[in-house]
């Protein structure tokens, strides 16, 4: 009896220590990094980030970056990477020009056509990668080039149209208390995605199908359809980002989407995502996008060239990948089951019960 009491007491103390112990996580790290960067830019570099002029410059850029990051996050959650997103963004801008003819009364038609095109691109990527089993990097790089080439041909038919409808540009350039409407829309999308993957059955099944192919098979779900759905959702969110970027620019061109090729991956990695797939936090991606936008803004104001800023972005990606790997390693080692304690792989696992 004394031995059992001592053992239960020891286990209780261990549980209490683990309950109050602090652990670094990717979300905590990116939050701390954002706070430190804001303090540096505000207090040391002398950049007043919260004045109306700075907010009107930064918040629309941040809004588009959040949307692009959320699009990439859906794909990274399945273990893939979508390199066609920049081409989709460019195509959306050109479509807002040609399909609308620059007229407000044609804007709804342009939006509907753009949504349909995004669904088709997402389906093509999803079928090629998930159904046919092709490499995601090579496949989406190829489809991105095809989309970009088609956009060039498509644009040549309406070179005389240089501005998107005034209704779109005025709405995308509006702000509420100095905060861009684009950022408000992006945060709303992050919240909707969070509710979708946490509260909606289809969203939870999508997370399960993305995190574990075998687990989704055990629950009898059609995992391929769900994983293809992730690519479609990614294309649609990227399309929304492209449309709002076109409205912000008023005159989008063939280079509108090119800056987001590397950045769309960086912001997701900084949010703690693992490129091999798994759960991705929407608001962690928001914080990753915030860090990148603030960092790039600080470098630009201090006079760094575009090449130097791109170099810094590459370094941030490398450090982010290394940091996520180091932070996830203890969890992986702790969660790795032994031959004696491994639970049976049945639908009674907690991850499956949440579905």
pLDDT tens, 263-272? 898 888 888 7
Residue 323: CA count within 13 A, CB half-sphere: 20
**Over the chain, what is the mean pLDDT?**
82
Q: Which two tokens stand for residue 182?
A: 């684009």
Residue 180 has pLDDT above 80, yes or no: yes
Please give the average per-residue pLDDT across 15-23, as a whole number.
56
pLDDT at 124 over 70: yes
Higher pLDDT, 206 or 14: 206
What local confidence, expressed as pLDDT, does residue 19 receive? Answer: 54
Backbone angles phi, psi at 33, to 5 degrees: -60, -40
The answer to whether residue 18 scores a pLDDT higher than 60 is no
- Among 29-38, 239-248, 284-293, name the most confident range: 239-248
Give the pLDDT score at 351: 39
* DSSP helix/strand/coil, 176: strand
Query: In this predicted model, what pLDDT tens digit does every residue of 196-211 receive, in sequence order?
Result: 888 888 777 777 766 6
Higher-confidence position of 85 and 326: 85
**pLDDT 10s digits, 45-63:** 888 888 888 888 899 999 9
Average pLDDT over residues 245-274: 88
pLDDT at 328: 61
More confident residue, 211 or 33: 33
Determine what percent of the chain is predicted with pLDDT higher than 70.
79
- Predicted confidence (pLDDT) per residue in 312-341, tens digit: 888 887 877 777 667 666 554 444 444 444
Residue 308 has pLDDT above 60, yes or no: yes
Q: How far apart are CA 262 and CA 288, in angstroms?
A: 13
Q: What is the pTM of this model?
A: 0.82
The H-or-E segment that residue 175 falls in is strand 175-176
Q: Where are the alpha helices (DSSP H) in the chain?
A: 2-20, 26-39, 52-76, 85-98, 107-126, 136-155, 166-172, 181-199, 201-211, 213-218, 223-249, 260-270, 282-301, 306-335, 350-353
Q: What is the DSSP letter of 162?
A: -
Q: Taking the alpha carbons of 275, 334, 285, 108 in that order, is the dihedral positive or negative?
A: positive
Is residue 182 within 8 Å of 248, Cβ to Cβ? yes
Question: Per-residue pLDDT averaged across 158-185, rounded?
Answer: 92
> What is the Cα–Cα distance from 201 to 344, expressed in whole angstroms?
24
* CB 118 within 8 Å of CB 238: yes
How many angstroms separate the CA atoms of 257 and 88, rounded?
A: 8
Of 232, 210, 277, the closest CA to residue 125 belongs to 232
State yes or no: pLDDT of 107 exceeds 90: yes
| Gap between the Cα atoms of 83 and 231, Å rounded | 12
Q: What are phi and psi of 278, to 5 degrees?
A: 130, -175
Sorted by sequence, the CB contacts under 8 Å of residue 91 that are 6+ apart come out as 117, 147, 148, 150, 151, 154, 242, 257
Q: Would you kindly state where each structural domain of the chain is located, as residue ranges? A: 52-257
Between 317 and 103, the more confident residue is: 103
């Amino acid at each position: 009896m004394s031995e059992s009491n001592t053992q239960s007491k020891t286990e209780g103390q261990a549980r209490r220590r683990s309950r109050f112990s602090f652990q670094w996580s990717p979300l905590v790290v990116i939050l701390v990094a954002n706070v430190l960067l804001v303090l540096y830019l505000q207090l040391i570099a002398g950049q007043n980030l919260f004045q109306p002029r700075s907010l009107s410059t930064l918040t629309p850029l941040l809004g588009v970056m959040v949307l692009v990051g959320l699009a990439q996050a859906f794909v990274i959650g399945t273990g893939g990477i979508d390199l066609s997103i920049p081409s989709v963004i460019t195509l959306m801008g050109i479509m807002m020009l040609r399909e609308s003819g620059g007229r407000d009364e044609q804007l709804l038609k342009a939006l509907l056509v753009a949504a349909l095109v995004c669904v088709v691109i997402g389906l093509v990527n999803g079928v090629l990668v998930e159904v046919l089993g092709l490499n995601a990097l090579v496949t989406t790089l190829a489809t991105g080039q095809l989309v970009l080439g088609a956009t060039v041909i498509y644009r040549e038919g309406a070179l005389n149209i240089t501005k998107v409808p005034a209704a779109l540009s005025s709405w995308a350039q509006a702000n509420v208390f100095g905060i861009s409407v684009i950022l408000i829309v992006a945060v709303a999308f992050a919240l909707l995605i969070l509710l979708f993957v946490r509260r909606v059955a289809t969203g939870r099944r999508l997370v399960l199908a993305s995190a574990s192919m075998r687990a989704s098979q055990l629950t009898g779900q059609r995992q391929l359809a769900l994983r293809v759905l992730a690519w479609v959702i990614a294309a649609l969110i990227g399309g929304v980002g492209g449309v709002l970027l076109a409205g912000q620019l008023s005159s989008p061109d063939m280079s509108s989407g090119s800056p987001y090729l590397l950045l769309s991956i960086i912001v997701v990695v900084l949010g703690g995502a693992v490129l091999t797939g798994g759960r991705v936090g929407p608001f962690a991606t928001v914080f990753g996008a915030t860090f990148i936008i603030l960092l790039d803004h600080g470098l630009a104001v201090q006079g760094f060239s575009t090449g130097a800023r791109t170099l810094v972005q590459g370094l941030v990606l490398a450090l982010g990948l290394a940091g996520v790997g180091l932070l996830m390693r203890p969890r992986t080692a702790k969660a790795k089951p032994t031959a004696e304690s491994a639970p049976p792989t049945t639908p009674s696992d907690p991850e499956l019960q949440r579905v």
